[in-house]
Amino acid sequence: METFKSDLSNKKFPITEKVSAKSIRNSVLELIKIDNPQFTDDKFLSMSELNTYREKYVDNFLSKQIGILTDLDKTVLDAIKEKTTLTDKLEDVDDTQKMTYGQRIADKVASFGGSWTFIISFGSFLLIWICINIYWLGNKGFDPYPFILLNLILSSLAAIQAPVIMMSQNRQEEKDRERGKMDYMINLKSELEVRMLHEKLDHLIINQQQEVLEIHTVQIDMLNEILKRIEKLSENEKK
């Protein structure tokens, strides 16, 4: 297999990974020159070495834009370096198996308490309670008007139901915060990958332009040789 020697590390790499310094983006090239001042525009390096400096450029970009990198930013950078998806590392906030027994009860109470089933059934219960005490028992039953026992039951129910519903709402807010973190990480990873994709496209375009120029140069050389041969032939014929 044909190889070449990198001017950056003096190591040998396959010729297919050979990259000219002229085709590297200026921002990344400047970063390379900071660590390797002897690396000029006529030098060559491997694609793996270039990718290392691209990742370093992304890291520096985040540090300048955001400041100190958070754990979320580091997770995104690790996903880019390892070429993995974020869904493999992020926890599923909708995983009901991780919920405690109390959280499950709170969710069920909040779901039932905010439904028409609860309103209709509880309204029917109140109506039956009132009718039994006023009409059936002649307002002399276990809870005559003004229904003190019923008021006590309603107050106790409200006192218990309110904190249970708040527990469910707090857990829902935690889930929303986790979803927000996920969205931030995915958006950040997408932005960085788009930047790297643009850089790779620029690299390909520059390489193609260089190859086209080389082809034109070769064609011009061939044409010049053909013209010289024609001129020699014409001179020989005149003689």
pLDDT one-digit tens code per residue, 163-177: 888 888 888 888 888
Q: Are 42 and 49 in contact (CB under 8 A)?
A: no
Domain residues of the chain, as ranges?
Answer: 3-90+186-231, 100-172
pLDDT of 183: 79
**Is residue 111 predicted with pLDDT exceeding 70?**
yes
Hey, which residues does 14 pair with through a beta bridge?
3
**Is residue 93 predicted with pLDDT exceeding 50?**
no
**Is residue 115 predicted with pLDDT exceeding 60?**
yes
Residues 6+ apart with CB under 8 A from 29: 21
d(CA 77, CA 70): 11
**Which amino acid, 35?**
D
pTM of the model: 0.40
Angle between helices 26-35 and 47-66 (to 10 degrees): 100
Virtual CA dihedral for 173, 174, 179, 183, nearest 10 degrees? Answer: 90
* pLDDT tens-digit readout, 14-71: 887 888 887 787 777 888 888 888 888 888 888 888 878 877 777 676 666 555 456 6
Q: In the structure, what pLDDT confidence band is assigned to residue 79 with cuts at 50, 70 and 90? A: low
